[in-house]
Amino acid sequence: MAHTVKQLAELSGVSVRTLHFYDHVGLLKPAYYGANGYRFYEEPQLLALQQILFYRELGFELKQIKRILIRADSEKLAALESHRQVLGKNLARTRQLIATIDKTIEHLKGKKKMKSQEFFEGFDPVVQAKHEQYLIDRYGDTMKEGIAESKKKVKHWTEDDWQKSGAAFNEICLDLVSAMERELAAESAVVQKIIRRHYEWLKQFWTPNQEAYAGHSELIVDSDLRKAYEAHHPQLPQFVAAAIKVFAKNELS
């Protein structure tokens, strides 16, 4: 049974625009195109989309997923088995975190007193430390200073502070997506004005110089930071990165 792009969007929860983008970059081609130009997808494409969503959930970049999809079935199976092991470990950790949350709820309700060490069961400081070390190894002492500055600035933030910051970030991303859809260039005055807002927003956490801000643009493309931008549009990380490099060169020299 063939599905139109609209039907596949409804089945999978992936937007029509994203499916069009996947077709454009060769990640997920339709089974065939109708005489009217409509895209039609059959079972192999549904399976491929399932794999795309699975690997995206694991944090893979689209170019990595594309390479995986063209592998032989035996290689795909080996990769899936490996990732299943990773998910199993993550599931165990998630269950531990849920148990810690449940204990904390009971503690705050006065029903059951928690021991001091129980407050931190399930948390993995090694993961955060590895992420910070990656940034330092890649960008040197400048990033080390930025991490320290960021920790100091948000140390006493309230939940309301985080919500306001998140709302401001989302507005910036929505305005950038609007600029993309209007086909404005990264160096255009409109886009650069939005990027200035992004730079000012980032200064809540740390104040990058020209080199550091340009380096931050690479992180938006190459690290887990891209997920926050991809949530608004699959191509937004690349668009933001290009615009930031222009801003850094022209405004932070």
Q: Looking at this protein, which amino acid is placed at residue 246?
A: V
Q: For residue 52, name the pLDDT band (cuts at 50, 70, 90).
A: confident
d(CA 62, CA 170): 22
Interval 88-123: pLDDT, tens: 766 666 676 666 666 666 666 766 665 544 444 444
> What distance in Å separates the CA atoms of residue 204 and residue 162, rounded to the nearest whole number?
11
**Do 49 and 83 share a structural domain?**
no
Query: Are 16 and 114 contained in the same domain?
Result: no
> Do 136 and 200 fall into the same domain?
yes
Domain tally, the chain: 3
Query: Can you give the CATH number for the domain in which 22 is found?
Result: 1.10.1660.10
- How far apart, in whole angstroms, are the C-alpha atoms of residue 17 and residue 210? 34
Provide mean pLDDT across the span 57-61.
72
Nearest C-alpha neighbor of 106 from the set 114, 95, 118, 94: 114
Give residue-wise pLDDT tens across range 174-211: 899 999 888 999 999 999 999 999 999 988 887 888 88
